[in-house]
């Protein structure tokens, strides 16, 4: 759940991994507390303690996605959609 409680990341194929040669991908279902129509969900991800950052976009706003990130570790995500912002951390192995 996001730090503000405005969004939830339902993870399928746990654990999230950097390399997944077989099996499910890093599927994440984003569920917004708001039922307002949403623009794209923009995800700014920063790898803890590294300065490495990545941007991902989920067209149409919160919903199903595949979020692959390039390095293992704890990623701090800033999520922005439809005038809302929330943050959460995801760990990739």
Rounded to an integer, what is the distance from CA 72 to the centroid of its chain? 14
Cα end-to-end span (Å), the chain: 20
Residue 1 lies in a domain: no
Task: Give per-residue pLDDT as tens, 13-64.
Answer: 789 999 877 766 899 999 999 877 668 999 999 999 999 999 999 999 999 9
CB-CB contact of 89 with 16 (8 Å): no
User: For position 26, what pLDDT does the model report?
Assistant: 93
Residue 36 lies in a domain: yes
The range of the structural domain enclosing residue 36 comes to: 7-92
Residue 82 lies in a domain: yes
User: For position 21, what pLDDT does the model report?
Assistant: 75
Span 60-73, mean pLDDT?
94
Q: Tell me the CATH number at 37.
A: 2.60.40.10
Total structural domains in the chain?
A: 1
User: For position 14, what pLDDT does the model report?
Assistant: 85
């Amino acid at each position: 759940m996001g730090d503000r409680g405005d969004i939830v990341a339902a993870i399928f194929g746990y654990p999230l991994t950097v390399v997944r040669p077989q099996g499910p991908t890093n599927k994440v279902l984003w569920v917004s507390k708001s039922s307002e129509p949403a623009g794209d969900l923009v995800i700014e991800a920063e790898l803890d303690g590294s300065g490495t950052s990545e941007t991902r976009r989920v067209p149409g706003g919160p919903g199903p996605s595949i979020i692959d990130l390039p390095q293992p570790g704890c990623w701090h995500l800033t999520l922005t959609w439809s005038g809302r912002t929330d943050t959460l951390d995801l760990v990739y192995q």
